Homo-oligomer: A and B are copies of this chain.
Amino acid sequence: MNIGIVGLGLIGSSLALKLAEIYNDINIYGEDISKSNLNYAIENTIIDNRLEEKHYSELNILFLAIPVDQILDISVNILDKTNNKTLVVDLGSTKKPICDLIKDNINRSRFLAAHPIAGTEFSGPITADNNLFNNKTIILCETEKTDNKLLIIAKELFLSMEMHIKEMNADEHDKHIAYVSHLSHITSFMLGRTVMDKEKNEETIYDLAGSGFESTVRLGKSSPSMWAPIFQQNKKNIIEALDEYIKNIKNFKDLIETDNLLEMSKEMKEINAIKNILKGIK
């Protein structure tokens, strides 16, 4: 099997490691806009070869593991240049814009829109982890538009990576993911901003911050070049989520201002039910 991976960040290089672990007879071609990422991946045998256009005709699957703005930029061109046996799979965190862009593309049946719910706040091939995808969910969107034979190959590959497959339409995906993923990145970034503005003296943060703060602000370490385009592409849903969130924060602030301990406790007790919901997260 010949696999191409465009983008050798955390997702792309972790994917390469995992596939090499599962399949004996596999050739992994990779490329990255960053020379240091590409060299690191080659030197550490994360990939077998640098991906060049001349390899396109050999590929069974070509994964796009790059920021979502670049996915929009190159997908049509990639579909043009690959041949009719190659499935192109994008792994971005927004699905509606890419599905809309290629909906009438002549090669639409060779495209699969996917979103693995896996990642960390770290970036680059140095953070590659062959276990990143184990037991995680991958969302596939608009699978009815993908050629069935190619779809089956992709599904088998994801299952062999120990992932759980869920299908959803792109619109629903983007609506829900705005709340469950994109919102928490913004709340985390803004917590970081607020504390850093107040505590110009970093020593105070060292002394007073515990594991709770660390956990809540963790996503504030995430890559700007990955996240800015996600926020732009999913703008409508994210604005809605942020408006709800701001409303809830203001409501809770009112409870504090009016010393309404009863309502505060009731509210927190209801939210505590998230315990049981989180238990279900793989």
Contact = CB atoms under 8 A, between A and B. Distances in A.
B197 A181 contact: no
Contact of A278 (B214, B231, B277): B214
Contacts of A218: 212, 215-216
B117 A208 contact: yes
Contact of A245 (B121, B190, B229): B190
A158 interface: no
A196 interface: yes
Nearest to A238: B256
A191 to B, nearest CB: 5
A205 B249 contact: no
Interface string A234-259: 01001101111110111011001101
A40 interface: no
Interface string A174-217: 00110111011111111111111111001011111111111111
A149 interface: no
B232 A194 contact: no
Main secondary structure of the interface of A (DSSP, over half): helix
A207 B242 contact: no
Contact of A209 (B181, B205, B216): B181
Interface stretch (A21-29, A76-84, A100-108, A220-228): A220-228
Interface stretch (A11-19, A55-63, A261-269): A261-269
A276 to B, nearest CB: 8
A238 B191 CA distance: 13
A218 to B, nearest CB: 5
A85 interface: no
Interface in A35-79: none
Nearest to A217: B274
Contacts of A199: 176, 179-180
Interface in A107-136: 117-121, 136
Contacts of A220: 268, 271-272, 274
B196 A274 contact: yes
Nearest to A222: B268
A33 interface: no
23 contacts: A139-B207, A139-B208, A179-B198, A179-B199, A181-B209, A183-B191, A183-B195, A185-B212, A186-B252, A195-B274, A196-B277, A202-B280, A206-B281, A214-B281, A215-B218, A215-B219, A227-B264, A232-B264, A238-B256, A243-B253, A245-B249, A246-B249, A249-B249
